[in-house]
Structure 1
Amino acid sequence: MRFLITGTAGFIGFHLARRLLDDGHFVTGFDGMTPYYDVRLKEARHAILERSNGFRAVIGQLEDAAALQQAAELAEPEVIVHLAAQAGVRYSLENPKAYVDANLTGSWNVLELARQCEVKHLMLASTSSVYGANDKVPFAEADKTDEPLTLYAATKKAMEAMGHSYAHLWKIPTTAFRFFTVYGPWGRPDMALFKFAHAIEKGEPIDVYGEGNMRRDFTYVDDLVEAIVRLVPVVPSEDNRVTADGITDTLSRQAPFRVVNIGGGQPVGLLDFIAAIEQALGKPAIRNLLPMQKGDLPQTYAAPDLLRELTGYVPETDVPTGVTKFVEWYRLS
């Protein structure tokens, strides 16, 4: 199949593109190479993808509709996977405009592109952050998402809403998947695992927010990619509405649109996560225990039932295994 993936120089986009290329598909990547973190890491990811004859790349910002149009003409996509975004919860406190530009204007440009290309499936990357102040756990797709705690979460929720409207107006089959704390090799330097490993290796203290009492549904990146790949042929329609007992499908009553959690539903304490890093590195961490930061939640984890019903799959890599794989990559990078 022919895929257009936004964000192929990013952490998740790189892994998804590599998997699809290995499976024999054609991938056109679109990325802005923004300097939110070291661009050399992004360039290294693209360099690996470019070893495949099935990969082509267009460099441009999501806000640049003409650049996206160029990528679409090159790709002639059957499927668009929109992963590119301004990421990072804490950075949204410092530079909110970047989130409005990329996650709102940029996502609207992608929706317009999907309408013009008449794709078979549009897939949008959302986040567990949209659940915001919801105090019910595990988070299920039908739970209320009306109280986002950060601008990042608000822009992702808005993208979901825009996606639903386009799915209804233009009959674009659309799946929005909500990620839960993705980690693994080639991860972003601003993410906790990368920062913790770097500091522990150097014998420097690590900042542990919430005094380590937070729990997260850590999702290993290969498991996330497996789930996305399995969702590609599950094009939202009444033909695949889930009717199993106890499962609430989010397939819209008005549009070919569905929201799906991608998480294993197995929350792990932050201190246990740090212990796995210490074990993999063979070095102890110096912990600097700090209070919760603005926008943080004490606990987030997925109800994975809908994903299981749709794909027969749920992320399964345990934290010690996934962290060890990250450390092996980190020490070679």
Structure 2
Amino acid sequence: MSILTPRDVPLGGLRAMTVRRTLPNRHRTTIGAWCFVDHFGPDLVEHSGGMHVAPHPHTGLQTVTWLFEGEVEHHDSVGSSQLVSPGQVNLMTAGAGISHSEVSTSTTSRLHGVQLWVALPDEHRFIAPFFEHHVSPRMTIGRAQFTVFVGSLTGDDVTATSTATTFTGLVAAEILIPENTTITIPVDHSYEHGFLIDSGELTVNDEQALKDELAYVEPGHISITIATGDVPSRVLMIGGEPFDEELVMWWNFIGRSHEEIVQMRQQWQSDVVEGSNPDGVFGTVAYEGPVIPAPEMPHVHLRPRKLPRP
């Protein structure tokens, strides 16, 4: 087991909000196929300005938006327009290429949540893009309440299964745990898991994790025991079968080589930023204002991010 600490990252260009990123981390690239975890808020929108992420591209991944507070409006280049609120999940499969925007609504006073990415396996990473929205099922284990938004978990009386589309074995859930509570979660022994502490403190298999940290648990466990102290805790649990493919991650693209990333960047810049082919790979988004241009490529050859498995 290990503890991953976050770093602060500005998100969204000139009107950037700050997020706490725990994955990818210099100690770990993925947990299952989860390859990106951004944790934000709780922010007072009147002070922070909220979320204003202009259209930008993605390839080779799924984005998963999960909110604790507030409301965000999503638009994408396959024609989707969807609000997401707490208890619901927006899942966008980028596949060969998609663009989207995310903007907090005018009625949102506090914004608080997590955005995650899932790496698509090689056999599915060039599929046609699509979008889905789901209301997530709930269950309990002892005094803890789970909302399962990806995969399945078994509770006291029922197995809660999300209808979100996945391409590898995955699980994700929000857990609300009262103070001074210990619970044992049955898990798939082939999965590795992460526990992101949103509030309070948590002991995971007898090791303490503090607010905003991500506790990593290696495969081989049939259950994981978590416990709170003198205050309640909200926790985001993610997990999945170890993802053994090498990934080249740069900006909003996931590929398998430096050359693929260069091609993806050139496609976005020419099709959308320069407007030479608005019906190209990334399409257009219903959004008033400029899109986000890609950064300049680094002056190094991008190499796969791969760390030893446990």
TM-score (norm 2): 0.30
Between Structure 1 and Structure 2, the one with more helix by share is 1
Q: State the TM-score, normalized to the length of structure 1.
A: 0.29
Higher strand fraction: Structure 1 or Structure 2? 2
